[in-house]
Amino acid sequence: MPTPLPDRSPPRRTAFVNARLIDPESGLDTRGALLTDGKTIADFGPRLFNDASPADAEVIDCGGHVLCPGLIDMHVHLREPGHEHKETIATGSHAAAVGGVTTVACMPNTNPTIDDVALVEFIQRRARETSLVKVYPFAAVTRGLAGKEMTEMGMLAEAGALAFTDDGHPVADSLVMRRALAYSRAFDMMVSQHAEDMSLTGCGCMAEGEVATRLGLPGIPDASELVVVERDIRLVELTGGRYHVAHISTAQAIDAVRQAKRRGLPVTCEAAPHHFVLNDRAVGDYRTFAKMAPPLRSEVSRLAVIEGLKDGTIDAIATDHAPHDQESKRVTMERAANGVVGLETMLPISLELYHAGEIGLLPLLALMTNRPADLMKLPQGRLRRGAPADLIVFDPDLRWTIDAKKFVSKSKNSPFDDREVKGRNRLTMVDGRIVHRLNGA
């Protein structure tokens, strides 16, 4: 499927009728209609268009399906610049649109690294030119992700970086992390940590435990994540800086964040769908498409992630979309690259928690809409008059089978290939323009 170019024509007025309106922030869940005008939501509610639809608007019958804010993914690797053979802003945004993700935050571990103003401006310019969805860059904490010299955080923030992270590499030096947290406080911006003690990880390629032992693979202990999280929480106590744990995955680290929140510390975290629906047994017979960092953990930790999502310890669901070509994955476990794609499967995989009765639909959607928007201080992620018209229509009960070969992402490295799921995005709107329609929608 060719990657479409963004439509820059003025958006039309659009009337969505026969919809199940859901706004996770306000708790709205009702039958009704919604009107967009230009780039914003003009009106919505159960009595809108009771008499007749507006004559000057395109009318879309939602067929009783959910109409809600577009999803927000705060952890995406778009690979541009430097690794365009794996993904580009254009192809990644197309994958996002198909999956119902209208806003993505892209990570700075590109080549060159997003560690100066020129690279932030490059991402913004390329997004304007090629992206179907909204793309915001995170900037690096340290130059070149080397963990030694801090970036010019103030200038990067002024240029439009939403947060700071060395994702893919932990900020291992305690003094550097302390200074980053202290300095970022001046801008009230978040420092997101890839929590991994590399000396404990060593040459490990999956979670330490019975499965790794049976497969004869070097394991990564849960403590690799925990010790960094606990250290950083102590640094938050010293500095008062906003601290965020990316793709949290272990029961112990989740509990450490829970205790920090109870003490009133500005500590937040996110979890990836693969960490709450899969455990280390998914590695099976050396399945490299199930190799990621952090690795798939034990069943105990998988259940702890679900509990963290339910009790509010975990603030957001984010995919850690990490595209890799076949040559990077179809090798031995020790040599295979870490990471999986997730933009096109974020919604159906997350809906498994809803269909299993673990989490209600509104709180589940909140983890992918207004709550990540709040973390990044974005106006998206909610149904409000005057809010951006970033919307999706999805059928939560539509059964289908994931086929990675049909992904529009350049890379197909998914552990969910051939998985039967329920729930599919049918339509995606960004700034009042429809950027994706499922066939027949």
46 and 124 housed in the same domain? no
DSSP tally for the chain: helices H, then strands E:
14, 18
Q: What is the pTM of this model?
A: 0.97
**Nearest C-alpha neighbor of 157 from the set 120, 192, 193:** 120
Q: At what angle do helices 117-130 and 89-99 cross, to 10 degrees?
A: 60
CB-CB contact of 133 with 98 (8 Å): no
197 and 105 housed in the same domain? yes
CB-CB contact of 365 with 351 (8 Å): no
Beta-bridged to residue 406, according to DSSP, are none
In the chain, what's the furthest Cα-to-Cα distance? 68
416 and 372 housed in the same domain? no
Give how far Cα 137 sits from Cα of 120, 163, 251, 306, 405, Å.
6, 8, 30, 28, 28
Token couple for 24: 């996770």
278 and 409 housed in the same domain? no
177: CATH: 3.20.20.140
How far is the C-alpha of 128 from the C-alpha of 149, rounded, in Å? 31
- The reply to whether 53 falls in a domain is yes
Q: What is the pLDDT of residue 2?
A: 78
**Nearest C-alpha neighbor of 392 from the set 371, 355, 423:** 423
280 and 327 housed in the same domain? yes
Q: What is the pLDDT of residue 54?
A: 83
**Nearest C-alpha neighbor of 393 from the set 420, 347, 425, 360:** 425
What one-character-per-residue DSSP string does 366-381 give? HTTTHHHHHHHT-S-S
Q: What is the pLDDT of residue 9?
A: 85
How would you write 224-271 as a 3-class SS string?
Answer: HHHHHHHHHHHHHHHHCCEEEECCCCCHHHHHHHHHHHHCCCCEEEEE
For 170, half-sphere exposure in the C-beta direction (CA atoms, 13 angstrom radius) is 23
239: Cα separation from own chain's centroid: 27
**Nearest C-alpha neighbor of 164 from the set 116, 198, 128:** 116
Q: What is the pLDDT of residue 441?
A: 65
151 and 287 housed in the same domain? yes
**Nearest C-alpha neighbor of 233 from the set 282, 266, 273, 277:** 266
Separation of first and last alpha carbons in the chain: 18
33: CATH: 2.30.40.10
- The reply to whether 207 falls in a domain is yes
96 and 168 housed in the same domain? yes
Q: What is the pLDDT of residue 341?
A: 98
Question: Among 376, 406, 422, where does a domain finish?
Answer: 376
Residue indicated by tokens 């958006």: 11
**Nearest C-alpha neighbor of 213 from the set 283, 305, 274:** 283
> Can you give the residue range of the structural domain that contains 27?
14-67+388-437
Catalytic option among 23, 37, 222, 320: 320
What one-character-per-residue DSSP string does 164-196 give? EE-TTS----HHHHHHHHHHHGGGT-EEEE---
Beta-bridged to residue 106, according to DSSP, are 76, 137
How far is the C-alpha of 241 from the C-alpha of 181, rounded, in Å? 5
Burial code of 201-212, b = ≥16 C-beta within 10 A, e = fewer? Answer: beebbbbbbebb
How far is the C-alpha of 47 from the C-alpha of 56, rounded, in Å? 19
Low-confidence residues in the chain, pLDDT < 50 = none
Give how far Cα 405 sits from Cα of 183, 342, 418, Å.
45, 14, 10
Q: pLDDT tens digits, residue range 41-78? A: 999 999 998 888 788 999 999 999 999 999 999 999 99
Beta-bridged to residue 136, according to DSSP, are 105
- The reply to whether 137 falls in a domain is yes
87 and 58 housed in the same domain? no
- The reply to whether 156 falls in a domain is yes
CB-CB contact of 201 with 220 (8 Å): yes
- β-bridge pairing 206-207 and 190-193: unpaired
Token couple for 420: 């039967």
How far is the C-alpha of 298 from the C-alpha of 249, rounded, in Å? 10
Q: Is 320 a catalytic residue?
A: yes
Q: What is the pLDDT of residue 440?
A: 62
Backbone angles phi, psi at 124, to 5 degrees: -60, -40
**Nearest C-alpha neighbor of 188 from the set 241, 235, 260:** 241
31 and 62 housed in the same domain? yes
Q: pLDDT tens digits, residue range 122-143? A: 999 999 999 999 999 999 999 9
- The reply to whether 112 falls in a domain is yes
320 and 426 housed in the same domain? no
121 and 159 housed in the same domain? yes
How far is the C-alpha of 323 from the C-alpha of 341, rounded, in Å? 5
Total number of domains constituting the chain: 2
Question: Among 329, 348, 376, where does a domain finish?
Answer: 376
How far is the C-alpha of 46 from the C-alpha of 16, rounded, in Å? 12
169 and 97 housed in the same domain? yes
